[in-house]
Amino acid sequence: MKLVIAIVTLCVFSSCKKIENIMDGTENLPKQIQETNDGMKKTNEAIRKQKIGVAFGILKDDKMRANLVPIPFNMMSAGRMMAEALTADEALLFVKNYTINLNKAQAVDNYPPIDEEKFQHERMADYYMLMLISGFLPDATVNEIILKESNQGAYQNIMLNILKLRVDFNSDMMLVMGVLGLNPSEKDADGNYKVLDEKSKLDTLGKIEKAIEYNEIVEKVCDLEFAEKVDIQVEGFKLKPLDKELAKKNWTLILNRAQSDYKAQSLSKDPVKNETEVKEYTERFNALITKVKSKTK
């Protein structure tokens, strides 16, 4: 009799709990959570694809492509947005398709017709587009590409193209031209880069940190065991092969410029705060210099 009562009580309790769950909506909670997660994934994927579409539209816009020299500033933000939104597979396929287009050296079978000068300008703009995207790809995406393609993957050659574009972007465009104000394509009689902008100085800690950030990306590629194979060839373009010593040369350049240009200064007019900040800046500068020196060895 006690056993029967216990079973009946348990059933009643379970039924009551089930009714309570139904009333407060918790019975279907796992299903609701899954549906919500699925909905969020679809929404996030739609947003990601929309970003790619918007960024690509900007990158192909004539106004954004009008001024490419010395740096295609108008294309930079869209290049970053697209690079950050692309998956590894999408990046490989995109660079593959546009590399094929780039190697069409003459304007043929175009509709509407396009003159040769305009066609070559578009080729250069497409090259810069690939450079921006390759340069701005997140490290995780690049690592995935290398892991997938470096052992005879279907797009191994495209991986090598992306890595070369990535080096050119971060070394030539962002570091040498952007931060240091030098011309990576022209040297003086002593073998030093010619100056593009005399006002460009490594005179703040932020600039030094940026220079280090860009060259660390270059260094990662130069340190790859297959670095000598990293390259891209475009019909009619004079492109330099990868210099495996480029990162070390850049470290020396950064070191010399930082030691020459930087002086710890505070903007504060308060003497005590000024002294404290100068001391802090000096310590941070010395730490950065120590880091760069270790890279030159």
Q: Write out pLDDT tens, residues 178-213.
A: 999 999 989 888 889 999 999 999 999 999 999 999
Is residue 182 within a helix (H) or strand (E), and if so which, with residue range? Answer: strand 182-187
Q: What is the pLDDT of residue 79?
A: 98
Phi, psi for 256 (deg, rounded to 5): -65, -40
Q: Is the pLDDT of residue 8 over 60?
A: no
Q: Write out pLDDT tens, residues 222-276.
A: 999 999 999 999 999 999 999 999 999 999 999 999 999 999 999 999 999 999 9
* Residue the block writes with tokens 């990576």: 184
Task: Count the neighbouring beta carbons within 10 Å of the beta carbon of residue 122.
Answer: 18
Percent of the chain with pLDDT over 70: 87
Average pLDDT over residues 75-85: 98
Q: How far apart are CA 17 and CA 25, in angstroms?
A: 12
* Residue the block writes with tokens 């040769």: 116
Q: Is the pLDDT of residue 99 over 90?
A: yes
How much is the pTM?
A: 0.85
Helices (H), the chain: 2-24, 29-59, 62-65, 73-85, 88-102, 116-136, 139-149, 156-168, 205-222, 246-261, 271-296
